[in-house]
Structure 1
Amino acid sequence: MSETVRPTRPRLSVPLTGIRQAGGSVARAFGRSWAVVARRLEPLWRVVSSWALWAWRYVRPVLAVVSPLGWLVLASAATALVVGAVFGWAELLLVGATLAVACIVAACFLFGRSRFRVEIELNPRRVTVGERAIGRVLITNIGDKRSTATTLELPVGRGLAEFAIPGLAANADTEELFAVPTNRRAVIHAGPAVSVRGDQLGLFRRVVKWTEPIELFVHPVTTRLHPTAAGLVRDLEGQITKKITNNDISFHALRDYVTGDDVRYVHWRSSARTGQLMVRQFEESRRSQLTIVHSRDRRYYASDDEFELAVSATASIASQVIRDGTQISVVTEGLQLRTHSVVSILDDSCRIEPLEGETGNARTFAREATKRLPPPSVVVIVAGSLMDASDYRSVQRLFGGDTNVIAIAVALGQKARLTDVAGLSVISIGALTDLPRVMARAV
């Protein structure tokens, strides 16, 4: 047998590195070309974007009157008309025409303008939890013609009050009353009041804003404390510290004169007796300063009611200290409360809400919150029943030995007691009524 010899085709061998280099060259060339095109189109893009933003400012209010249901009906009408016309389905054409007519009729309810003056009043503006608060809305037609009937919506906290406003003659007015829920401490916003024009189907809705929101403060429940016990500071003229200074009120000792000393403090009688200049030294007096460190970290509280009790305790102490005229600072995570008056501290206490998530330890929070405050003579730490004694001690170590630190542990329903933990006074209260009695024992 003879063997058949098949001719072999020559193979072209291309190194892989050459392919990679060629691909990289193409990519770089494409990148350079795209950069050139982008630079040339940049002025055009700026003009187009500016015109688009200008047009959107005018188109957006028009599109905002269409509700989600209205967009659904419009899309359904357009789809039905297009599909019906393409496939010759009379039924779809009828459905599309019906929906289109409904949209046209609904849009007619948007036309017309009313001129109102709307006033919102809350009486009173500040209440305590559980007290009654009544709101009043006064609507006046300030136009020259009779207004059409409309609906007025007023957000109140998390709720929404709706009022059906009848047609009003020129300069006529009507008023509506509403109750504000005050069952929990909060800052309740009433408003803004808006009038709503639209159809009964809810396809279109035009909203006109008439007022700005106003605030109702629902203060926490507080209790009165003994005047001097609340501040935990007996000497309102200033407390003597162990720090030595060159000028103050409390005399400490005499020392030799050093160049630069104020000659007003030279003790001439002692200088004449010893034959060398002697100057007075003083113990520094510190103005009474109370700092309340209130933690709103939820992990330190067993329940929401316990958290509210802690806020009431802080507000009670701070209110009495302000009445006594002692300087005070109240800090919590991310918030320093205003303390220039009792009303301001109660208003800001309404804004204290539980803090969720990781917030670091108590020592870090207290250090950051108090580092810009005046040096305190008394520090009160307020937290829930789940804060450990070690956390209180870590906060205590931030302050000097001449600072009196007291911890208030709020344990809802527990018996009130006063304990000493390694030199730290820990006051435990189970109800707000325990606070005056236990605080009086702490001083």
Structure 2
Amino acid sequence: MSSVTEQVPARSVRLRRARGKLGSGMSRAGVTTKTLLQVAALPPRRAWTAIRPLLAVISPLGWIVLGSAVAIAVTGYLLGWQEFVYLAITLVAGMIVATGFIFGRSAYTVEIELSPRRVVAGERALGRLLVRNIRPRRSSASRMELPVGAGVADFVIPALEPREEHVELFAVPTTRRAVIVAGPAVSVRGDELGLLRRTVKWAEPIELFVHPVTTPLAPSAAGLVRDLEGEVTKTITNNDISFHALRAYQPGDDRRYVHWRTSARTGQLMVRQFEETRRSQLIIVFVADKAHYESEDEFELAVSVLASLGVQVMRDGTKVAVVSERVELRTRTVTSLLDESCRLEPVSSPYRTTREFARTATLRLPSPSVVMVVSGSRLPIGDFRAVERLFGLDTVTVGFRAEFGAAPQLTSINSLRVATVGALTDLPRLVRRAS
């Protein structure tokens, strides 16, 4: 009986060892198979790496010609039509002839300059493309393309002697607010039909900021922000500047604020209370949701209103934060604010309501003294009131509705004021009335 009990564990041990060897063998086989597949895939990968630059020179038109040549050749062969075969040979011969136009090498230094780098929409901006031959021998003529915004400027660069320069001037369209990217400059070699095209980049792109049109406003936004050094509020605090009253000492009060004369006269410790002073903090909430705008002109008017308000407040020295659905605009300087306003575009808001957007965007910002909400004509008055209720009673909320071509109007609902701006020239008068 004891011998049987001793044999069973021995058999189980042998079985486990056999299974372990089988499993390790299978895992090694799996690793070996994976390694073989990787090795087998290596040559095609290297071949594709070598062939890819060659295929990149074939333009879309060139691929159409090659595909047509193959289709015509197969059709002519199957149907026995020699004309189709001759046509396919002609197309292939055209591709072969085009290869002669992509050979050649040039060495340039290319500089792209914009003057000025920042303009207001409608102002003139000029660009300069400088090409210098840095090879020790004469370069051949070439063609250079320069993307400017949505368009492409095409220049013919003549043959240049060593160290010789060639300059091309171009105008940049600045009819609308935008960030226009000029570059990179690309030299192009290819045939006249555009079957083959070899390109080389020579310069990095640069940006031209087309700022929105703004209008000057009265200082401190016409009184909306009244005290740049600190505005006294009705909130009572234990330490500040503006004295309010005396009260009895409580354990934990700072002894620096004990009023010793009154304490000696009354026989008990009395401490000072203060009215809280708050440095002016302004938040501009820009609603970029395209559902609240009637047209592109209306959106551009709203951006101009935003820029005009922000520029004037920053020039007054007031700290301002500008938030939108996608990004919080940089407001370190007036120039940075105007640069950021160039990037504003109508978006599909990820928030369900304007209140939710304003609450999320201002959650980490200091408590503001003034909140300005800028939007289009489709934003209901109720949404302005919903934003107003997010902040305390000490916060002044003013709304600006851009409605292109509408008569200027100021609507007051309790403490909320909503200005309807039909043209940018109406903004100074509406701000004065709102204050």
Same fold (TM over 0.5): yes
1:41 to 16, 33, 44: 33
Aligned partner of 2:128 in structure 1 is 136
Deviation at 1:61, TM superposition (A): 2.0
2:154 pairs with 1:162: yes
Deviation at 1:35, TM superposition (A): 10
Aligned partner of 1:312 in structure 2 is 304
Aligned partner of 2:404 in structure 1 is 412
Deviation at 1:359, TM superposition (A): 4.3
Deviation at 1:281, TM superposition (A): 2.4
CA-to-partner distance for each residue in 1:41-75, whole Å, 9 max, x for gaps?
32333445566555544432222111122223334
User: Aligned partners of 1:59 and 1:231: how far apart in 2?
Assistant: 69
User: Aligned partners of 1:85 and 1:301: how far apart in 2?
Assistant: 61
Letter in 2 for 1:270: T
2:260 pairs with 1:268: yes
Kept in 2, the 8 Å contact 1:230–1:320? The answer is no
Alpha carbons of structure 1 residues 195 and 265: separation in structure 2 relative to 1, 3 Å: same
2:291 pairs with 1:299: yes
Q: Out of 240-249 and 54-63, give the one that drifted further.
A: 54-63
Aligned partner of 2:22 in structure 1 is none
Deviation at 1:178, TM superposition (A): 1.2
2:372 pairs with 1:380: yes
Q: Out of 50-59 and 293-302, give the one that drifted further.
A: 50-59
User: Aligned partners of 1:35 and 1:90: how far apart in 2?
Assistant: 59
CA-to-partner distance for each residue in 1:307-328, whole Å, 9 max, x for gaps?
1111111101111111111111
Deviation at 1:357, TM superposition (A): 6.3
User: Aligned partners of 1:62 and 1:140: how far apart in 2?
Assistant: 27
User: Aligned partners of 1:357 and 1:318: how far apart in 2?
Assistant: 23
CA-to-partner distance for each residue in 1:320-353, whole Å, 9 max, x for gaps?
1111111111111112111121111111111111
CA-to-partner distance for each residue in 1:269-328, whole Å, 9 max, x for gaps?
222233333322222211101111111112222222111111111101111111111111
Deviation at 1:238, TM superposition (A): 0.9
Alpha carbons of structure 1 residues 118 and 231: separation in structure 2 relative to 1, 3 Å: farther
- SS in structure 2 of the partner of residue 313 of structure 1: helix
Kept in 1, the 8 Å contact 2:288–2:349? The answer is no
Kept in 1, the 8 Å contact 2:307–2:341? The answer is yes
Kept in 2, the 8 Å contact 1:416–1:429? The answer is yes
User: Aligned partners of 1:384 and 1:37: how far apart in 2?
Assistant: 67
Kept in 2, the 8 Å contact 1:385–1:409? The answer is yes
User: Aligned partners of 2:223 and 2:134: how far apart in 1?
Assistant: 55
1:431 to 416, 423, 426: 423
Aligned partner of 2:10 in structure 1 is none
Aligned partner of 1:19 in structure 2 is none
Kept in 2, the 8 Å contact 1:231–1:320? The answer is no
Aligned partner of 1:146 in structure 2 is 138
Aligned partner of 1:334 in structure 2 is 326
User: Aligned partners of 1:331 and 1:357: how far apart in 2?
Assistant: 13
Aligned partner of 1:192 in structure 2 is 184
Please report the RMSD computed on the Cα atoms of aligned residues, expressed in angstroms. 2.5
User: Aligned partners of 1:180 and 1:48: how far apart in 2?
Assistant: 53
Structure 2, unmatched stretches of 5+, are: 1-25
Alpha carbons of structure 1 residues 239 and 103: separation in structure 2 relative to 1, 3 Å: same
Deviation at 1:204, TM superposition (A): 1.1
- SS in structure 2 of the partner of residue 322 of structure 1: helix
1:60 to 52, 71, 77: 52
The aligned runs of 1:77-226 (5 Å cut-off) are: 77=69, 91=83, 93-226=85-218
- TM-score where L is the length of structure 1: 0.86
User: Aligned partners of 1:361 and 1:182: how far apart in 2?
Assistant: 35
CA-to-partner distance for each residue in 1:184-206, whole Å, 9 max, x for gaps?
11111111110101112222111
Aligned partner of 2:248 in structure 1 is 256
- SS in structure 1 of the partner of residue 424 of structure 2: coil
Alpha carbons of structure 1 residues 36 and 238: separation in structure 2 relative to 1, 3 Å: same
2:413 pairs with 1:421: yes
- SS in structure 2 of the partner of residue 317 of structure 1: helix
User: Aligned partners of 2:88 and 2:238: how far apart in 1?
Assistant: 93
User: Aligned partners of 1:53 and 1:98: how far apart in 2?
Assistant: 33
Q: Out of 250-259 and 348-357, give the one that drifted further.
A: 250-259
Q: Across the two proteins, how many residue pairs are aligned to each other?
A: 410
2:338 to 327, 335, 346: 346
User: Aligned partners of 1:236 and 1:260: how far apart in 2?
Assistant: 33
Aligned partner of 1:14 in structure 2 is none
Letter in 2 for 1:210: W
Aligned partner of 1:17 in structure 2 is none
Kept in 2, the 8 Å contact 1:297–1:359? The answer is no
Letter in 1 for 2:113: E
Kept in 2, the 8 Å contact 1:363–1:391? The answer is yes
Alpha carbons of structure 1 residues 109 and 367: separation in structure 2 relative to 1, 3 Å: same
